[in-house]
Amino acid sequence: MDALSAESEKVLVIAKQEALGLRHEFTGTEHILLGLLACDDDIAAPLLAKHGIVAVEVRAQVARPGSGAEGGPENAQPLTARAKQVLTLAGNEAEALEDDEIRPEHLLLGIIRQASGVAALVLRDMGVDLAELREEVHEARESAEGFLGEGGMRAEVSPSELGGGGGDRTTAPVAVAASEDGRRQADARPVPAVTPPLCPSCGERLTDVLATATVASEASSTSSRRRGLSSVTLIYCGACGHTLAATR
């Protein structure tokens, strides 16, 4: 798939501008990441911001002083091989999700899949779990659209592709749309009312009339044969005076 959405085209334009501004001779995956951070889409940019990924920190990480690129009309900052692979992977993601164009979230998924690129390395260095970020992209799509793509499946991904070590290739499950009516019915279930305790004598609610009083009483000690004073706390109904309990 070669069709880029308007937002994705803007991402690549910004990516080339970032490469030029950093005096880099080529546009790499890291510049595409910077382009995504400057994009105002509803999925990729907010998710990156959620993980604390900001352009100024990414730019500081990818800066390579003295790269020699001067820019200008003759210098178009062509895409690196890995950046081209990100576009290919993004197209695969869009096709798997049955989308008719490559959107910014597909570019982000492509960056995640191209785990050896500078962008993926920067994300990991900044504490982002790539596998978790991938799931969050799909969850954000499901939340925004109510289902995954247009009934499509997630692209097949192996743990090693996300930089998580070896393992057999696995396929993420097809997302099944949850029933909105079922959720509404669950939310509409009545909450059982809690009956407050009542005074057994007058029937008043104890939460309104419960009272306590501490009184002194003379007590004897059978072990020492001595008499002394001790205090007793009475718990009673303030409406009718009925004693409910007494504690020392």
Residue 242: predicted pLDDT: 72
232 in the same domain as 182? no
| Spatial separation of the C-alpha atoms in residues 109 and 131, rounded to whole Å | 10
100 in the same domain as 69? yes
Q: Please, what is the average pLDDT of the chain?
A: 76
| Structural domain containing residue 222 | 206-247
236 in the same domain as 114? no
Residue 153: predicted pLDDT: 52
Task: Record the pTM.
Answer: 0.59
196: in domain: no
223: in domain: yes
Residue 169: predicted pLDDT: 39
- Structurally, how many domains does the chain consist of? 2
135 in the same domain as 53? yes
SS3 at position 149? coil
Torsion of CA 105, 107, 109, 113, to 10 degrees: 180
List the strands of the sheet with 243-247, edge to edge.
210-221, 226-237, 243-247
182 in the same domain as 218? no
Q: Are 58 and 36 in contact (CB under 8 A)?
A: no
93 in the same domain as 19? yes
218 in the same domain as 160? no
DSSP 98-133: T-SSB-HHHHHHHHHHSTTSHHHHHHHHTT--HHHH
110: in domain: yes
213 in the same domain as 108? no
Write out the E strands in the chain: 210-221, 226-237, 243-247
| Spatial separation of the C-alpha atoms in residues 12 and 6, rounded to whole Å | 10
| Last residue in a domain, options 138, 156, 186 | 186
> How confident is the prediction along the chain (248 residues), in pLDDT tens digits per residue?
569 999 999 999 999 999 999 999 999 999 999 999 999 899 999 999 999 999 999 999 998 654 444 444 445 689 999 999 999 999 999 999 999 999 999 999 999 999 999 999 999 999 999 999 999 999 999 887 654 444 445 555 655 556 554 444 333 333 333 444 444 444 555 544 445 677 777 777 767 767 777 766 555 444 444 555 566 676 767 777 777 776 66
CATH number, domain with residue 152: 1.10.1780.10
| Last residue in a domain, options 135, 153, 186 | 186
71 in the same domain as 38? yes
Dihedral sign for Cα atoms in the order 35, 41, 47, 51: positive
21 in the same domain as 139? yes
